[in-house]
Structures are given as structure tokens and as C-alpha cells.
Structure 1
């Protein structure tokens, strides 16, 4: 007998010094363990010798020679129940391994999603910083063109633009390309009229050449008011957005509180009260005087579990993730709903895909007797919303920003003594609090 010894056999997989088979999925570029002719021949001869050395010639038309030999040798009968138990144990082992592989894949997927979200957020911030830097450089040409013979001698405001040509911060440059005596302009809110004069003898006549023109912005119109990172304070913050100004917002809802674990006699009361933590608050931004509101909803709380002893218990339930909503106009948006918490014996943690822990749901309480029985459900995390808004009106608008507060863990059975100290009853583990929401405001193009 020999163990597999192909080039990609796994070392120590069956114990120290014992090579074996493996899918090698955890080794980049490595194939699963190959079968070799030497090893297959060894297995073949081990089985064939067992039959032949008992005086039985091999019968290529029979597939039960080994069974018949073992079932009748020296009057010993195969214990079919034992074989079934072995096969069941083997099946259970395979099932546990498959579940572990599935959990590993889910964890890897969640980690990749977190890295992608962080990379997108960093890229958006870099673009915003670059745009802010470019936006602060003046003077700059914002419009340019050529009026050809036969076209109307006027410059029109682009559709949807907030520019007013009556604003002297927009300088006008005119360059006729042929000989001329003089030129003039007339400003209106939505257009600029142009006149160019030529001379023929003593009479002025209309100019017939090309006219190059440009509109130059001489100073900035935006404001850095409100640009900052914001955490939970319990009160909204109000700041202006000037006419024509764009702002970039990152909104993260708060995480929910987790479920607790407690004792209750499930024989006397098979349907105990459901104890739940508190949901996380939403983080939102609204524009006063409009129906515009951008909301990153808070994560939902986990529900507590009960252990009644004597093997009777009720596990908690996980909270769902927060949901985003958008009402009113915006320039662009990237959004994702929060992930739900977990509620299994092996894993009853809160959802936490943000690498900085912002808006994370709280971990559920371990079962007060056995961690995996009667545990509290993990809470959901807050939703995430990155959005750009432009004030397309001619007036200053005021934004109202509120950062959501974390949901508290289930703690209804806690009391206080005469000195104000918290008292935890026996056979009770309170739930944990979630993480507060977050907001970032920056200038955008």
C-alpha cells in the first residue's frame, strides 16, 4: 500500500508526514492533486491480492467478489449498520467542509466588495479634490466660438446653464477677423448682441467677415461653506449652496443595535415576548424650500434569543440592512443598501462592510449558557449613498444635513441600583450598540 505521491499531493493533509488529496483551491495557480499510475496500480493490487490470496480467481464479469469474500470469510457477516454509520459520518464531514468553503467564499466576496467601495470612495474624493483645485483657478474660458457670415450676430446662453450675461464676472472678448472700424456689444440676461462696423468712403456698412468670441469667468462663484466630515451630534447642520454651485455628499446610515440573550422557562411559556434592539437612524440631506431629500437609511436591530435550559432554546433573528431613498433632482449618484446581520450559531455578528466601521451593525449577544444556543441576532448596517447635487436656481439654497445615531442594543432587563450603577440580572446578556452614521460634504464641479 502507498499514499498518493504526485507532484501536487498535499503535505500533512492526513496528519504529520501523511500526504493526501486536496483541491488546492487556496494555493494560487495550483491544480488539484493528480492521480498517478503507480498509486492506482498499488490500490488495484491491494484489492486484487485480497481476493486472489484467498484462492479466488478474479472474475472480470463480477463486481461483488470483494463483498462475497468479506461477507462469508470465516463465517463473519458484514455489519451493514456500521457501514451505513461510516458512510453517514463521511457525508457529514463532506457537508461541513462544503459549508466552510461556502463561508470562506462569502467572506472573500464581502472583503472584495468592501475594497471596491473604499477604492470608489477614494477615487471620488480625489476627483472632487482635483475638480475643486481646477475650479479655484481664474480667469478661465468657459465658452468660445466663431460667428460666420450669414449667422445671427449674438451669443446665447447654453440650455440649462445658470450663467447670467448681466453678471460682470463674465468678461466678453470679441475679435473680428477682417478689417473693421469698430465693434460693440450689448448684454442681456440670456444672450449677448454684437455689432461690427466697416468703412467704405464716408459711410459705415455692415461687417461680413468671421467673428471669434469667448466668455471668460474672472473669479469664482462657489463657496467652501459646509465642506467637512460630519459625525452624529443629534442636531442637523445647515449650510448654503450658491446659485450654480455643485456639492458632493457621502451619506452613511447608522447601524442597528443587536439582540440580547436571556433565560426564560420555555416549558411554562413556549411563546415568550420578542425583545428587540433599536434601529439605527437614517443619515439624510434635504434642501429647504424644495422636495429634495437624499436618505441613507439606518440598519435594523437584531432580535434577542432565549435559552430555557434542558436543551430548549430559541435563537435570535438578524436585523436587515438600511435602505436608500432619493427624492428630487440630482446630478449623479452611487448607492447601495446595507447588508443584513447574521444569525447562525457559528456567526451572529452584525453587518460591517465599511472598512472604517462607519454605520456598522452591532454583534449579537452570545447565548448566556452556550454561545451558539439562544444567542441574539446581529444587527443590519446602514445604507450608503454618494451623490452630487447642483443648485440650478438663480438663488442661494440652504442644505440641512443630519447624521444618524446608532441603534442601542436590546437592554430592557437592565436596572440601576440606588447609586445609579447598572445592574445586569443573572442569566442575561444585553445586546450591543451599533455604530453611528457618517457624512462628508465637498465641492464638486
Structure 2
């Protein structure tokens, strides 16, 4: 290997006898340093030998061969130690050469950082020295301890906490979105959700590439069960330079308030990604993180439809015909039901979904799922309830029509035999053929 030696290279640029490249604008009539074929061939062969002398043929269609070789070298730690020893010998031998001494100190400091890291990894040395992007790994069994936590992705300590409800109201729900865009990191991340008094949690992951174009989306968490606590996990795979947007919706169970904590975890190195692209949008008016302040239900964000559904891609609520019949059903399952009753009233709400293939009176209707929820009307008497996610995804092996039923009560009803009599304004029904 040798430094550039074309006739207009800048002599002694890096010390006596150490020429370098220069624009030579300070020298009248002198062109910038020429690239000589000899020097370029030397660089080419130095790089090619890294691969070929390791038994790897050159592939003109692969632009990451050197990265793959360095990033997967199993004995990189041993190599680092050997290089450290050799560099120390060189520094002792050439102690009078200041420039080389500075270069040696720089490389040795990075090697030491790698050796002293909490969880040393070969790629950590590459990232700190050469600025490469690191591939993260995670599985559903990845530990959720602090050592594996992705710090800073939420702008703080890596755990995002949602508190919903208050000491005075029932049946709260909340929704929103947040974005995770790691800096110089990609691969697989573990999404860990810990629930306390949360009845429903649904998270949809929307994946974007490095150009900001959405590539696909998937439902990663779909929880609907009356439990006081639960831990839910999902894996998020982000491409190099890309990011993921998490759209979430939650609802508390039969208690006054609940909370969900969300964290991201990976297997294999110090997990602080800084800076990190982070945004969070809360779009439910009854969402709060202060459980000492009553937040009254306000349904003004919802349209004045009896039955409707939400389209996340356009952020729109669309109406479903409440006059649909068995012979003329709607084609979309409902997400919400709206009613107008007495103002500021605590309610029990029964929601049922069933399947049916034959019209009344010779009906073969079969109830699939029935639940009781708590809710409250606002000062204007309005109430909007969300149809549970599990009721929106009923299997129909025989192309049955779905029937959604909602009834409102002032006292707790017994649903052992189905929707009971005594509701405030009868039973609201919607026929659906998705």
C-alpha cells in the first residue's frame, strides 16, 4: 500500500514524505491532485484481497460483501486483541510520528469501548468506528429487563405508559398512534405490552421504508378478555432506514381506571438509539394521564350516526344503514353504536353478535358472543360504545349473515339466557353480510 504519488499530489500534507490529495487552488496554474491508475489499482487490490484471501469470490451484484465479512467475523474479539497488541508495538516503534500515533489512539479507544461495553457485540465496534447500521434481533422470549430495553425511543426511558379513566367514570376508551424510527438500527424488535384493568387492546403496525412509503400493515396485538392483568407480546421487523407507526386503541374493564405500559426490547447490545424519530398522537377526547382529575365523557368527536365504522387509512368514520334488513344487509361490520338517552346517566350495555342463514319466523339465529359493558352518557345524553374487536372477526364457514344487537340498561342485566327484557329503548339490530 502507498499514498498518492501523482505529479501534482500535495507533498508532505500529512508530515514529511506523506503526500495527500489537494485542490491546489493556492498554487497558480496547478490542477487538483490527479488520480493515477497505479494508486487506484492499489486500492482496488487491497479491498479485493480482503474478500479473496478469505475465500470469498467477488460478486459485482453485491455491494455489501465487505460489510458481511466484517459483521459476521466470529473471531472479531480475538482479532481486535491481536490488532491492539500490534498497534501498541507500532506506536512504541514509531513514537515520533505524531500523525500515526493519533490514528492508533483513535482505533485503540474504539476497541476499548467495544471490550468495555455492557453487552459487547462485534457490530458495536463497526458502528462506533465506521458508522454502519446495526441489525437488531429479538424473539418472543427476549428478556424484558433494563439490559434489553430500547432506551430513548419514547424520548425518555423506553417505557410508554397510558393511563385511562378516572375515579368517577366507567367504560373509558382511548386511541392514538406513535412512531418508532430507530437511528442506525433495524431488524426485529420485541413489542411488550403490560395491561392492568384493560379489557381491550388492539395495535396495528404500519411499516414504512427508508423513503417514507408504506410497505404493509398488520394487526400485531388483538386482545379482548376480562382479566385484571395480562402481558402481550409481538415482533416488529423494520427494514434498514425504515420505521413503524403503531395505531392503538384500548378500553378499561369493569373498574374506574386502567393502564397499559408499552416497551421495546432487543437481544444484542446497548440499546440507546439517539436521536430517534418519535411522535405520539392521542385522538380520543376522554384520554388522560392524570387520574386525579375527572374527565367527562365527550362524544363530539364521533359523527351523528347510529351505526358506523372507522377507516384508518383515511381517518374517516363512515355510516352504516341502520334500516338494513335480513334481505338487504350492510357489507361492513360495525365498529361503533351511538344512542341518545338521559344526560349524565351511568349505564350497563349489552352487546351481542350472532349468525343467521334463515329469515324469521323460522330463524336459525345462533348467538356467538355476548358481553356486558359499563358506560355513561354525556351532558347532552349522548353515548357511543365500541363493538369489541373479537365480535368484528366472527368466522362464517357457511357464508352466514351476522346480526349485531345492542341494548342499554340502568341496572346490571342477567345475560345467561341472552339479551333480557327491560332495556331502556329496546334492542338495536344491524344485519351484516361482509
- Give 1 or 2 for the bigger CA radius of gyration: 1
Same-fold call, TM cutoff 0.5:
no
Question: Greater relative contact order: 1 or 2 (C-alpha under 8 angstroms, separation 6 or more)?
Answer: 1
Judging by fraction of residues, say which structure has more strand.
2
TM-score (norm 2): 0.20
